[in-house]
Structure 1
Amino acid sequence: MASSILSLYRRMRAWPAGGWLFSRAVCLKAPYFASISPRITALEAGRCEARIAHRRRVTNHLGTVHAIALCNLAELTAGLMTDASLSATMRWIPKGMQVQYLKKAVGTQRAVAVPSRAIVAATEGYALPVEVTVRDDSDAVVFTASVEMWVSPRPARG
């Protein structure tokens, strides 16, 4: 059974401008992500892709995409991928992130998030590293991140 976020994504993608609407809905749920105006371009269990445009609001004093905008994009894609991959009995929260800035980030930035190991339902919490790679318009890797997600069972409602 698909997660609720994945079901919503699949439903909305069929609508005219559905991808844009889904991206806006994500930003309504988690408002800080609106600061980078992300566009979710693919979402499935085990993979999320998103992009941000090079625009003034994400630019630093050097004229490149700001490092924190790239971190924000990494956390967004890692979180959506994790959420889309979990059963309804599990939950997640980011616990940490290690990043590497490899090249000046100029132009549209495209992020892909994938888990570094299998995502499973469990009776106890566990760390799930999610690897995110960000590429520029020339397909060069400009940034990588390893986002550690803490995955655990949802508490029983009672």
Structure 2
Amino acid sequence: MTAPLLSLYRRFSRWPAGNWLFSRAVCFKAPYFASISPLITVLEPGRCEGVIRQRRRISNHIGTVHAIAMCNLAELVGGVMVDASLPADMRWIPKGMEVKYQAKALGVLTAVASPEIPIVSAAAGYDLPVLVRVTDSKGVEVFQARIAMWVSPKKA
């Protein structure tokens, strides 16, 4: 069975501006993500891609994309990927995130999230590490995050 979020994405992505509408819907459900004006461009089981573009409101004092804006993007694509990939009987929550700032983040940034182990249904909760890589328009990796997701059965 397809996850409800993935079904919604597939329905919206067929329309003109469908990815934009889907991204706005996600931000409506989780309003803090709207602060970076993200665009989800790819969503499939085990993979989510999202884009932000540098603007003044997410820039820091040295003129690059602020570290916390990239953390926000990483948590967004990681969470959307997990939500769209989980079996219907499971739920998730982020437990922590380790980040690496690798280069100056300028311009359009693309984040790609993928699980480091298979996502499965289980009788007990388990740790799911999710890797998020953020690259600039030249393909240079500027940021990396490893998000610790806690996946557990839904309560009856």
SS of 1:48 mapped into structure 2 = strand
CA RMSD after TM alignment:
0.4
Q: What is the rounded CA distance, in whole Å, between the counterparts of 2:79 and 2:55 in structure 1?
A: 24
Q: What is the rounded CA distance, in whole Å, between the counterparts of 1:130 and 1:57 in structure 2?
A: 27
| 1:105 to partner: Cα distance | 0.2
Look up the match of 1:104. Answer: 104
Q: What is the rounded CA distance, in whole Å, between the counterparts of 1:66 and 1:142 in structure 2?
A: 12
- The amino acid that maps onto 2:31 is P
Q: Deviations over 1:21-52 (max 9, x none)?
A: 00000000000000000000000000000000
Look up the match of 1:83. Answer: 83
Q: What is the rounded CA distance, in whole Å, between the counterparts of 1:15 and 1:136 in structure 2?
A: 27
- What are structure 1's unaligned runs of at least 5 residues? none
Q: Deviations over 1:112-145 (max 9, x none)?
A: 0000000000010000000000000110000000
SS of 2:35 mapped into structure 1 = helix
Q: What is the rounded CA distance, in whole Å, between the counterparts of 1:118 and 1:13 in structure 2?
A: 26
Q: What is the rounded CA distance, in whole Å, between the counterparts of 1:77 and 1:20 in structure 2?
A: 14
Q: What is the rounded CA distance, in whole Å, between the counterparts of 1:70 and 1:134 in structure 2?
A: 8
Q: Would you say 1:65 and 2:61 are equivalent positions?
A: no
- The amino acid that maps onto 1:138 is K
- The amino acid that maps onto 1:34 is A
- What are structure 2's unaligned runs of at least 5 residues? none
Q: Which runs of 4+ in 1 moved over 3 A?
A: none
- Residues matched between the structures, number: 156
| 1:88 to partner: Cα distance | 1.2
SS of 1:61 mapped into structure 2 = coil
Q: Deviations over 1:74-121 (max 9, x none)?
A: 000000000011011100000000000000100111000000000000
Look up the match of 2:51. Answer: 51
Q: What is the rounded CA distance, in whole Å, between the counterparts of 1:92 and 1:153 in structure 2?
A: 9
| 1:15 to partner: Cα distance | 1.3
TM-score computed with the length of structure 2 as normaliser: 0.99
Q: What is the rounded CA distance, in whole Å, between the counterparts of 1:10 and 1:141 in structure 2?
A: 28
Q: Would you say 1:144 and 2:144 are equivalent positions?
A: yes
Q: What is the rounded CA distance, in whole Å, between the counterparts of 1:16 and 1:136 in structure 2?
A: 25
